[in-house]
Chain A
Amino acid sequence: MRAATLNRLAILNQPPPKPRRRRAFDWSTLAIAALSLSAAAYVYWRDGSGHFFTVLESDIWLFVTMLPKVLAGCLIGGFITLLLPRELVARWVGGESGMTGLLIAMAFGFMLPGGPFTAYPIAGAFLLVGADAGTVVAFLVSWSLIGYTRALVWELPFFGADFTLWRIIAALPLPIIAGILARIVVKAGFPVKAPTGEPRKDP
Protein backbone atom coordinates (compact mmCIF):
# COMPACT_ATOMS: atom_id res chain seq x y z
CA MET A 1 0.00 0.00 0.00
CA ARG A 2 1.26 3.50 -0.77
CA ALA A 3 3.01 5.35 2.02
CA ALA A 4 0.71 8.36 1.76
CA THR A 5 -2.29 6.09 2.18
CA LEU A 6 -0.77 4.52 5.28
CA ASN A 7 -0.10 7.96 6.74
CA ARG A 8 -3.68 9.01 6.18
CA LEU A 9 -4.88 5.73 7.66
CA ALA A 10 -2.99 6.44 10.84
CA ILE A 11 -5.66 9.01 11.78
CA LEU A 12 -8.12 6.15 12.04
CA ASN A 13 -6.26 4.67 14.98
CA GLN A 14 -6.50 7.80 17.03
CA PRO A 15 -9.57 9.00 18.84
CA PRO A 16 -11.38 11.58 16.75
CA PRO A 17 -9.86 15.03 16.84
CA LYS A 18 -11.45 17.87 18.73
CA PRO A 19 -10.05 20.55 16.46
CA ARG A 20 -12.11 23.47 17.60
CA ARG A 21 -12.28 24.59 21.18
CA ARG A 22 -15.83 23.99 22.25
CA ARG A 23 -17.62 27.15 23.11
CA ALA A 24 -20.24 27.10 25.82
CA PHE A 25 -22.76 28.63 23.43
CA ASP A 26 -22.67 28.93 19.68
CA TRP A 27 -24.73 31.01 17.30
CA SER A 28 -27.28 28.31 16.54
CA THR A 29 -27.89 27.78 20.26
CA LEU A 30 -28.32 31.53 20.65
CA ALA A 31 -30.79 31.57 17.76
CA ILE A 32 -32.85 28.77 19.28
CA ALA A 33 -32.66 30.53 22.69
CA ALA A 34 -34.04 33.73 21.18
CA LEU A 35 -36.77 31.80 19.38
CA SER A 36 -37.66 29.87 22.56
CA LEU A 37 -37.83 33.00 24.70
CA SER A 38 -40.05 34.78 22.18
CA ALA A 39 -42.31 31.73 21.97
CA ALA A 40 -42.49 31.47 25.77
CA ALA A 41 -43.32 35.19 26.09
CA TYR A 42 -45.97 34.86 23.39
CA VAL A 43 -47.59 31.84 25.10
CA TYR A 44 -47.59 33.74 28.43
CA TRP A 45 -49.20 36.76 26.80
CA ARG A 46 -51.77 34.73 24.82
CA ASP A 47 -52.76 32.01 27.30
CA GLY A 48 -51.92 33.47 30.70
CA SER A 49 -49.65 32.26 33.47
CA GLY A 50 -51.63 29.09 34.31
CA HIS A 51 -51.13 27.53 30.90
CA PHE A 52 -47.56 28.85 30.71
CA PHE A 53 -46.57 26.98 33.86
CA THR A 54 -48.37 23.79 32.74
CA VAL A 55 -46.24 23.76 29.58
CA LEU A 56 -43.07 24.60 31.52
CA GLU A 57 -43.69 21.84 34.06
CA SER A 58 -44.27 19.11 31.47
CA ASP A 59 -41.16 20.21 29.53
CA ILE A 60 -38.96 20.23 32.63
CA TRP A 61 -40.25 16.76 33.49
CA LEU A 62 -39.38 15.55 29.97
CA PHE A 63 -35.90 17.06 30.34
CA VAL A 64 -35.32 15.27 33.67
CA THR A 65 -36.45 11.89 32.31
CA MET A 66 -34.06 12.35 29.36
CA LEU A 67 -30.93 12.83 31.44
CA PRO A 68 -30.06 9.18 32.24
CA LYS A 69 -30.49 8.28 28.55
CA VAL A 70 -28.31 11.14 27.39
CA LEU A 71 -25.58 10.32 29.91
CA ALA A 72 -25.66 6.65 28.84
CA GLY A 73 -25.51 7.68 25.17
CA CYS A 74 -22.51 9.92 25.81
CA LEU A 75 -20.66 7.20 27.75
CA ILE A 76 -21.37 4.65 25.00
CA GLY A 77 -19.99 7.14 22.48
CA GLY A 78 -16.90 7.73 24.60
CA PHE A 79 -16.14 3.99 24.98
CA ILE A 80 -16.96 2.94 21.41
CA THR A 81 -14.75 5.69 20.02
CA LEU A 82 -11.85 4.12 21.90
CA LEU A 83 -12.72 0.46 21.33
CA LEU A 84 -13.74 0.36 17.66
CA PRO A 85 -11.00 -1.06 15.42
CA ARG A 86 -11.25 1.69 12.79
CA GLU A 87 -8.32 0.68 10.65
CA LEU A 88 -9.56 -2.89 10.42
CA VAL A 89 -13.00 -1.67 9.32
CA ALA A 90 -11.44 0.65 6.74
CA ARG A 91 -9.55 -2.29 5.26
CA TRP A 92 -12.72 -4.37 5.08
CA VAL A 93 -14.66 -1.56 3.48
CA GLY A 94 -11.87 -0.85 1.02
CA GLY A 95 -11.42 -4.48 0.09
CA GLU A 96 -15.05 -5.45 -0.29
CA SER A 97 -17.20 -4.37 -3.15
CA GLY A 98 -20.68 -5.33 -4.26
CA MET A 99 -23.46 -5.74 -1.75
CA THR A 100 -21.12 -6.90 1.03
CA GLY A 101 -19.24 -3.60 0.87
CA LEU A 102 -22.49 -1.65 1.14
CA LEU A 103 -23.66 -3.73 4.12
CA ILE A 104 -20.34 -3.36 6.00
CA ALA A 105 -20.36 0.40 5.32
CA MET A 106 -23.95 0.61 6.58
CA ALA A 107 -23.15 -1.36 9.75
CA PHE A 108 -20.14 0.86 10.45
CA GLY A 109 -22.19 4.02 9.91
CA PHE A 110 -24.73 2.66 12.38
CA MET A 111 -22.07 2.03 15.04
CA LEU A 112 -19.88 5.10 14.65
CA PRO A 113 -20.49 7.66 17.38
CA GLY A 114 -19.64 11.31 17.13
CA GLY A 115 -20.32 14.29 14.94
CA PRO A 116 -19.19 15.45 11.50
CA PHE A 117 -15.58 15.76 12.68
CA THR A 118 -15.49 11.99 13.10
CA ALA A 119 -17.52 10.81 10.14
CA TYR A 120 -16.21 12.81 7.17
CA PRO A 121 -12.48 12.15 7.69
CA ILE A 122 -13.30 8.44 7.97
CA ALA A 123 -15.31 8.59 4.75
CA GLY A 124 -12.32 10.25 3.09
CA ALA A 125 -10.07 7.49 4.42
CA PHE A 126 -12.43 4.86 2.95
CA LEU A 127 -11.86 6.40 -0.48
CA LEU A 128 -8.11 6.25 0.10
CA VAL A 129 -8.12 2.54 0.86
CA GLY A 130 -10.00 1.87 -2.35
CA ALA A 131 -13.68 1.91 -1.42
CA ASP A 132 -15.92 2.97 -4.29
CA ALA A 133 -18.13 6.06 -4.12
CA GLY A 134 -21.26 3.95 -3.58
CA THR A 135 -19.80 2.39 -0.44
CA VAL A 136 -18.81 5.79 0.94
CA VAL A 137 -22.28 7.17 0.21
CA ALA A 138 -23.86 4.18 2.00
CA PHE A 139 -21.64 4.83 5.02
CA LEU A 140 -22.49 8.55 5.21
CA VAL A 141 -26.22 8.01 4.72
CA SER A 142 -26.21 5.29 7.36
CA TRP A 143 -24.34 7.52 9.81
CA SER A 144 -26.77 10.39 9.14
CA LEU A 145 -30.03 8.46 9.29
CA ILE A 146 -29.70 5.34 11.43
CA GLY A 147 -26.63 6.05 13.61
CA TYR A 148 -27.77 4.94 17.02
CA THR A 149 -26.01 7.57 19.15
CA ARG A 150 -27.81 10.41 17.43
CA ALA A 151 -31.09 8.53 17.72
CA LEU A 152 -30.60 7.74 21.41
CA VAL A 153 -29.24 11.05 22.55
CA TRP A 154 -31.28 13.44 20.43
CA GLU A 155 -34.20 11.90 18.67
CA LEU A 156 -35.54 9.59 21.37
CA PRO A 157 -36.04 12.33 23.99
CA PHE A 158 -37.77 14.70 21.60
CA PHE A 159 -39.91 12.21 19.71
CA GLY A 160 -40.31 9.27 22.09
CA ALA A 161 -39.41 5.62 21.55
CA ASP A 162 -42.27 4.69 19.21
CA PHE A 163 -41.74 7.48 16.70
CA THR A 164 -37.95 7.10 16.71
CA LEU A 165 -38.09 3.34 16.17
CA TRP A 166 -40.68 3.79 13.43
CA ARG A 167 -38.57 6.39 11.62
CA ILE A 168 -35.43 4.26 11.85
CA ILE A 169 -37.22 1.19 10.47
CA ALA A 170 -38.48 3.33 7.59
CA ALA A 171 -34.90 4.54 7.01
CA LEU A 172 -33.22 1.10 7.16
CA PRO A 173 -33.16 0.47 3.39
CA LEU A 174 -32.01 4.01 2.56
CA PRO A 175 -28.21 3.59 2.90
CA ILE A 176 -28.30 0.63 0.51
CA ILE A 177 -30.62 2.44 -1.92
CA ALA A 178 -28.35 5.50 -1.88
CA GLY A 179 -25.24 3.35 -2.38
CA ILE A 180 -26.77 1.53 -5.36
CA LEU A 181 -28.01 4.83 -6.83
CA ALA A 182 -24.51 6.30 -6.47
CA ARG A 183 -23.02 3.34 -8.33
CA ILE A 184 -25.58 3.72 -11.11
CA VAL A 185 -24.88 7.46 -11.39
CA VAL A 186 -21.11 6.87 -11.48
CA LYS A 187 -21.56 4.17 -14.13
CA ALA A 188 -23.66 6.63 -16.15
CA GLY A 189 -20.68 8.97 -16.26
CA PHE A 190 -20.72 11.14 -13.11
CA PRO A 191 -17.12 12.34 -12.77
CA VAL A 192 -15.79 11.18 -9.39
CA LYS A 193 -12.21 10.94 -10.61
CA ALA A 194 -9.19 11.81 -8.45
CA PRO A 195 -10.98 10.89 -5.23
CA THR A 196 -7.96 11.66 -3.06
CA GLY A 197 -7.84 15.28 -4.17
CA GLU A 198 -4.07 14.88 -4.61
CA PRO A 199 -2.19 14.18 -7.81
CA ARG A 200 -1.64 10.44 -8.12
CA LYS A 201 2.00 9.50 -8.01
CA ASP A 202 2.89 5.88 -7.61
CA PRO A 203 6.23 5.15 -6.00
Chain B
Amino acid sequence: MMLLIDILLWLFVGGLALAAASRGRIVLNEGARAGVIDFLHLLPRIGLGVIGSGFIAEALPKSMIAPWLGPESAIMGIALATIGGALTPGGPVVGFALGAAALKGGAGAPQVVAFTTAWALFAVHRLVLYEVPMMPARVVWLRALVCLPLPFIAAGAAMLIGKP
Protein backbone atom coordinates (compact mmCIF):
# COMPACT_ATOMS: atom_id res chain seq x y z
CA MET B 1 0.00 0.00 0.00
CA MET B 2 2.68 2.49 1.06
CA LEU B 3 4.94 1.35 -1.80
CA LEU B 4 2.07 1.85 -4.25
CA ILE B 5 1.57 5.40 -2.93
CA ASP B 6 5.30 6.10 -3.35
CA ILE B 7 5.26 4.81 -6.92
CA LEU B 8 2.16 6.86 -7.82
CA LEU B 9 3.67 9.95 -6.22
CA TRP B 10 6.89 9.67 -8.17
CA LEU B 11 5.01 9.00 -11.41
CA PHE B 12 3.14 12.24 -10.73
CA VAL B 13 6.44 14.03 -10.08
CA GLY B 14 7.75 12.65 -13.39
CA GLY B 15 4.67 13.84 -15.28
CA LEU B 16 4.88 17.32 -13.77
CA ALA B 17 8.61 17.50 -14.51
CA LEU B 18 7.87 16.65 -18.16
CA ALA B 19 5.16 19.31 -18.27
CA ALA B 20 7.61 21.82 -16.75
CA ALA B 21 10.37 20.79 -19.17
CA SER B 22 8.03 21.39 -22.10
CA ARG B 23 7.75 24.99 -20.93
CA GLY B 24 11.50 25.33 -20.94
CA ARG B 25 14.57 24.46 -18.95
CA ILE B 26 14.19 27.44 -16.61
CA VAL B 27 10.74 26.32 -15.47
CA LEU B 28 12.02 22.80 -14.83
CA ASN B 29 15.03 24.01 -12.86
CA GLU B 30 13.03 26.57 -10.92
CA GLY B 31 10.37 24.04 -9.87
CA ALA B 32 12.92 21.41 -8.88
CA ARG B 33 14.95 23.96 -6.94
CA ALA B 34 11.90 25.23 -5.03
CA GLY B 35 10.92 21.64 -4.18
CA VAL B 36 14.37 20.65 -2.95
CA ILE B 37 14.74 23.83 -0.86
CA ASP B 38 11.36 23.13 0.72
CA PHE B 39 12.42 19.58 1.44
CA LEU B 40 15.68 20.61 3.10
CA HIS B 41 13.81 23.19 5.12
CA LEU B 42 11.28 20.62 6.30
CA LEU B 43 13.77 17.85 7.04
CA PRO B 44 14.78 18.82 10.60
CA ARG B 45 11.19 19.65 11.52
CA ILE B 46 9.87 16.33 10.28
CA GLY B 47 12.63 14.40 12.03
CA LEU B 48 11.87 16.23 15.24
CA GLY B 49 8.13 15.83 14.76
CA VAL B 50 8.21 12.11 14.07
CA ILE B 51 10.69 11.15 16.77
CA GLY B 52 9.26 13.64 19.23
CA SER B 53 5.67 12.55 18.71
CA GLY B 54 6.71 8.95 19.35
CA PHE B 55 8.12 9.87 22.75
CA ILE B 56 5.29 12.24 23.59
CA ALA B 57 2.83 9.41 22.82
CA GLU B 58 4.83 7.09 25.10
CA ALA B 59 4.96 9.65 27.86
CA LEU B 60 1.30 10.67 27.73
CA PRO B 61 -0.62 9.13 30.60
CA LYS B 62 -2.82 6.66 28.76
CA SER B 63 -5.06 6.31 31.77
CA MET B 64 -6.01 9.97 31.25
CA ILE B 65 -6.40 10.07 27.46
CA ALA B 66 -8.78 7.15 27.22
CA PRO B 67 -11.57 8.48 29.48
CA TRP B 68 -11.40 12.03 28.07
CA LEU B 69 -10.74 11.39 24.38
CA GLY B 70 -11.16 7.63 23.96
CA PRO B 71 -13.77 6.00 21.70
CA GLU B 72 -16.20 5.92 24.65
CA SER B 73 -15.96 9.68 25.22
CA ALA B 74 -18.40 10.26 22.33
CA ILE B 75 -19.62 13.82 21.77
CA MET B 76 -17.92 15.25 24.88
CA GLY B 77 -14.59 13.91 23.68
CA ILE B 78 -15.21 15.38 20.23
CA ALA B 79 -16.03 18.79 21.77
CA LEU B 80 -12.91 18.64 23.94
CA ALA B 81 -10.76 17.62 20.95
CA THR B 82 -12.24 20.48 18.90
CA ILE B 83 -11.35 23.05 21.56
CA GLY B 84 -7.89 21.56 21.94
CA GLY B 85 -7.29 21.63 18.17
CA ALA B 86 -8.40 25.25 17.86
CA LEU B 87 -6.06 26.31 20.67
CA THR B 88 -3.03 24.33 19.42
CA PRO B 89 -0.43 26.78 18.13
CA GLY B 90 2.24 26.06 15.53
CA GLY B 91 2.57 24.55 12.11
CA PRO B 92 1.75 21.08 10.76
CA VAL B 93 4.49 19.33 12.74
CA VAL B 94 2.86 20.37 15.99
CA GLY B 95 -0.73 19.77 14.88
CA PHE B 96 -0.23 16.38 13.29
CA ALA B 97 2.37 15.19 15.81
CA LEU B 98 0.02 15.86 18.73
CA GLY B 99 -2.89 14.24 16.89
CA ALA B 100 -0.80 11.17 16.08
CA ALA B 101 0.49 11.03 19.66
CA ALA B 102 -3.07 11.15 21.03
CA LEU B 103 -4.14 8.41 18.61
CA LYS B 104 -1.25 6.17 19.69
CA GLY B 105 -2.03 7.04 23.29
CA GLY B 106 -5.59 5.72 23.15
CA ALA B 107 -7.73 8.55 21.78
CA GLY B 108 -10.65 7.53 19.57
CA ALA B 109 -10.26 7.98 15.80
CA PRO B 110 -13.31 10.34 15.41
CA GLN B 111 -11.98 12.43 18.28
CA VAL B 112 -8.61 12.72 16.52
CA VAL B 113 -10.42 13.64 13.28
CA ALA B 114 -12.19 16.43 15.20
CA PHE B 115 -8.85 17.58 16.64
CA THR B 116 -7.00 17.78 13.30
CA THR B 117 -10.03 19.34 11.58
CA ALA B 118 -10.35 22.03 14.26
CA TRP B 119 -6.60 22.64 14.16
CA ALA B 120 -6.61 22.97 10.35
CA LEU B 121 -9.58 25.36 10.40
CA PHE B 122 -9.00 27.52 13.45
CA ALA B 123 -5.39 27.28 14.75
CA VAL B 124 -5.49 30.61 16.54
CA HIS B 125 -2.01 31.79 15.58
CA ARG B 126 -2.68 31.20 11.85
CA LEU B 127 -5.97 33.07 12.01
CA VAL B 128 -4.42 36.07 13.73
CA LEU B 129 -0.98 36.15 12.10
CA TYR B 130 -1.87 35.32 8.50
CA GLU B 131 -5.56 35.30 7.72
CA VAL B 132 -6.68 38.58 9.30
CA PRO B 133 -3.85 40.70 7.78
CA MET B 134 -4.28 39.16 4.32
CA MET B 135 -8.07 39.07 4.01
CA PRO B 136 -10.96 41.43 4.69
CA ALA B 137 -11.61 40.91 8.41
CA ARG B 138 -15.36 40.39 7.99
CA VAL B 139 -14.82 37.55 5.55
CA VAL B 140 -12.42 35.95 8.05
CA TRP B 141 -15.04 36.13 10.80
CA LEU B 142 -17.68 34.80 8.43
CA ARG B 143 -15.41 31.87 7.57
CA ALA B 144 -14.66 31.16 11.23
CA LEU B 145 -18.36 31.33 12.09
CA VAL B 146 -19.56 28.91 9.43
CA CYS B 147 -16.66 26.55 10.16
CA LEU B 148 -17.73 26.08 13.79
CA PRO B 149 -19.84 22.95 13.12
CA LEU B 150 -17.32 21.35 10.74
CA PRO B 151 -15.15 19.41 13.26
CA PHE B 152 -18.35 17.81 14.57
CA ILE B 153 -19.62 17.00 11.06
CA ALA B 154 -16.20 15.55 10.17
CA ALA B 155 -16.14 13.37 13.29
CA GLY B 156 -19.73 12.25 12.65
CA ALA B 157 -18.98 11.45 9.01
CA ALA B 158 -15.86 9.56 10.09
CA MET B 159 -17.98 7.46 12.46
CA LEU B 160 -20.53 6.80 9.71
CA ILE B 161 -17.89 5.59 7.26
CA GLY B 162 -16.47 3.33 9.92
CA LYS B 163 -12.96 2.77 11.22
CA PRO B 164 -10.08 2.70 8.76
Instruction: Tell whether, in the assembled complex, residue B32 and residue A32 are in contact, meaning their CB atoms are under 8 Å apart.
Output: no
Instruction: Tell whether, in the assembled complex, residue B36 and residue A59 are in contact, meaning their CB atoms are under 8 Å apart.
Output: no
Instruction: Tell whether, in the assembled complex, residue A82 and residue B30 are in contact, meaning their CB atoms are under 8 Å apart.
Output: yes
**Contacts between the two chains (Cβ within 8 Å), count:** 274
Residue of A nearest to B93 (CB): A32
Instruction: Tell whether, in the assembled complex, residue B51 and residue A59 are in contact, meaning their CB atoms are under 8 Å apart.
Output: yes
Instruction: Tell whether, in the assembled complex, residue A36 and residue B51 are in contact, meaning their CB atoms are under 8 Å apart.
Output: yes
Instruction: Tell whether, in the assembled complex, residue B136 and residue A127 are in contact, meaning their CB atoms are under 8 Å apart.
Output: yes
Q: Which of B59, B100, B121 gathers the greatest number of chain A CB atoms within 10 Å?
A: B59
Contact (A22, B157) CB under 8 Å given A35-B56, A186-B142: no
A70-87: which have CB < 8 Å to B? 70-83
Give bound CA distance, A24 to B1, whole Å. Answer: 34
Q: Which of A70, A127, A173 contacts B157 (CB 8 A)?
A: A173
Measured between beta carbons, the chain B residues less than 8 angstroms from A120 are 130-131, 134-135
Measured between beta carbons, the chain B residues less than 8 angstroms from A40 are 52, 55, 59
- B83 CB-CB contact with A under 8 Å: no
Instruction: Tell whether, in the assembled complex, residue B139 and residue A195 are in contact, meaning their CB atoms are under 8 Å apart.
Output: yes
Instruction: Tell whether, in the assembled complex, residue B5 and residue A83 are in contact, meaning their CB atoms are under 8 Å apart.
Output: no
Instruction: Tell whether, in the assembled complex, residue B9 and residue A152 are in contact, meaning their CB atoms are under 8 Å apart.
Output: yes
Q: Which residues of A contact B (CB under 8 A)?
A: 15, 22, 24-25, 28-29, 31-33, 35-36, 38-40, 42-43, 46-47, 51, 55-56, 58-60, 62-63, 65-66, 68-83, 116-117, 120-121, 123-124, 127, 133, 136-137, 140-141, 144-145, 150, 152-159, 161-163, 165-167, 169-171, 173-174, 177-178, 181-182, 185-186, 190-197
Q: Which residues of B contact A (CB under 8 A)?
A: 1-2, 5-6, 9-10, 12-13, 16-17, 19-20, 23, 27, 30-36, 38-39, 41-56, 58-59, 89-94, 96-97, 99-100, 103, 109, 113, 116-117, 120-121, 126, 130-131, 134-136, 138-139, 142-143, 145-147, 149-150, 153-155, 157-158, 161, 163-164
Identify 9 new A-B residue pairs, CB closer than 8 A, beyond the known A71-B39, A82-B30, A163-B164. Answer: A35-B56, A36-B51, A43-B58, A55-B58, A59-B54, A63-B46, A79-B35, A127-B139, A166-B158
